[in-house]
């Protein structure tokens, strides 16, 4: 049985993962870490083990990685960029892999991930759905086929609680389109005021409202015609399924960087 630690266990994605793992025959959740959990109790008779004061879906949830005593084979993270350093430190100390699903990383965070991947296996994607993995390939092919005469805009829509904008998936799709032009096209995030005629850019736009799970559209607008490719996630479950699949894939892999393409190929 693969033993998984879930970082962000008390969040929406944490709940999806824990529910799915309850019915899994190959992997199980052994504990969680979440900054919303109260401090653990340090038992007077033992200086080594801390007693979690939060439980969800039958697993203990600790406030920090320092409190985790359980044996763990792999970490899945759906939380926030702030915990990245502690998470990678824990995974390196234990010599286990990390599945990073959190979005909104800075350049400095990405450099930390790059460095860690020289020592442990790290699986990172801003979107665990197979549909988005396919969409990225289609977008690259469409951009290469249509060429510079077609203006490219990426529009994403998410629920009103989403913290980062644009979504990590929108950035991945824009990168896919840009890769067809040797990385030449700059990104323009939203537009406002007297911006003048459109240039060579790829426009990226974030819409927020209600309970929208996640919608991504890439538009190629040319002379007298518009082509759009879209993906709509109907529930968060699709991401949890992909992340568990990634965790199982990562156990026993050598140090390095992995993403959805590694699973699908």
Residues at the contact surface with ligand NAD, assessed by CB under 6 A:
7-8, 10-13, 33-36, 78-80, 82-83, 101-104, 125-128, 236, 239
Nearest approach, Cβ of residue 162 and ligand NAD (Å): 6
Q: β-strands 54-56, 27-33: how paired?
A: unpaired
Known active-site residue 162 = yes
Nearest approach, Cβ of residue 101 and ligand NAD (Å): 4
Known active-site residue 159 = no
**Both ends of the chain: CA-CA distance in Å?**
24
Task: Name residues whose C-beta falls within 8 Å of residue 226's C-beta, 6 or more positions apart in sequence.
Answer: 219, 220
Please, how many CA atoms are within 13 Å of residue 75, restricted to the half-sphere of its CB?
33
Which residue in the shown chain puts its C-beta closest to ligand NAD? 11
Q: Which residues pair with 229 in a beta bridge?
A: 218
Nearest approach, Cβ of residue 62 and ligand NAD (Å): 9
Given a contact cutoff of 8 angstroms between Cβ atoms, the answer to whether 99 and 58 are in contact is no
Nearest approach, Cβ of residue 222 and ligand NAD (Å): 31
- Tokens 């599945």: give the residue: 99
User: Is the CB of 81 or the CB of 203 nearer to ligand NAD?
Assistant: 81
Distance in angstroms (rounded) separating the CA atoms of residues 202 and 25: 44
Task: Name residues whose C-beta falls within 8 Å of residue 41's C-beta, 6 or more positions apart in sequence.
Answer: 50, 51, 53
Q: Which residues pair with 41 in a beta bridge?
A: 51
User: Is the CB of 89 or the CB of 104 nearer to ligand NAD?
Assistant: 104
User: Is the CB of 85 or the CB of 199 nearer to ligand NAD?
Assistant: 85
Helix (H, G, I), strand (E, B) or coil at 239: helix
Nearest approach, Cβ of residue 85 and ligand NAD (Å): 10
User: Is the CB of 12 or the CB of 148 nearer to ligand NAD?
Assistant: 12
Q: Which of 112, 162, 253, 257 is catalytic?
A: 162
* Lookup: tokens for 90: 């824990």
User: Is the CB of 79 or the CB of 176 nearer to ligand NAD?
Assistant: 79
Q: β-strands 256-258, 27-33: how paired?
A: unpaired
Distance in angstroms (rounded) separating the CA atoms of residues 149 and 213: 33
Catalytic residues: 158, 162
């Amino acid at each position: 049985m693969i033993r998984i630690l879930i970082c962000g266990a008390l969040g929406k994605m944490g709940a999806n993962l824990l529910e799915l793992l309850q019915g899994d025959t190959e992997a199980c959740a052994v504990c969680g870490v979440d900054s919303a959990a109260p401090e653990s109790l340090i038992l007077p008779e033992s200086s080594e083990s801390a007693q979690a004061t939060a439980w969800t879906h039958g697993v203990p949830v600790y406030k920090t990685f320092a409190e985790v005593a359980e044996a763990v084979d792999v970490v899945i993270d759906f939380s926030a960029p702030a915990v990245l350093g502690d998470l990678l430190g824990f995974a390196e100390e234990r010599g286990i892999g990390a599945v990073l699903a959190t979005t909104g990383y800075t350049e400095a965070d990405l450099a930390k991930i790059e460095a860690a991947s020289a020592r442990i296996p790290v699986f990172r994607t801003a979107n665990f759905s197979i549909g988005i993995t396919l969409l990225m390939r289609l977008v690259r092919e469409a951009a290469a086929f249509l060429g510079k005469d077609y203006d490219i805009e990426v529009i994403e829509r998410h629920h009103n609680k989403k913290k980062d904008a644009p979504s990590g998936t929108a950035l991945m799709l824009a990168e896919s389109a840009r890769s067809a032009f040797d990385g030449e096209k700059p990104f323009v995030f939203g537009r406002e005021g007297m911006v003048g005629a459109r240039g060579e850019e790829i426009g990226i736009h974030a819409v927020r409202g209600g309970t929208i799970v996640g919608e991504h559209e890439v538009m190629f607008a040319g002379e007298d015609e518009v082509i759009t490719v879209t993906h709509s996630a109907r529930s968060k479950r699709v991401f949890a399924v992909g992340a568990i699949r990634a965790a199982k894939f990562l156990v026993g892999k050598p140090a390095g960087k992995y993403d959805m393409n590694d699973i699908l190929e």
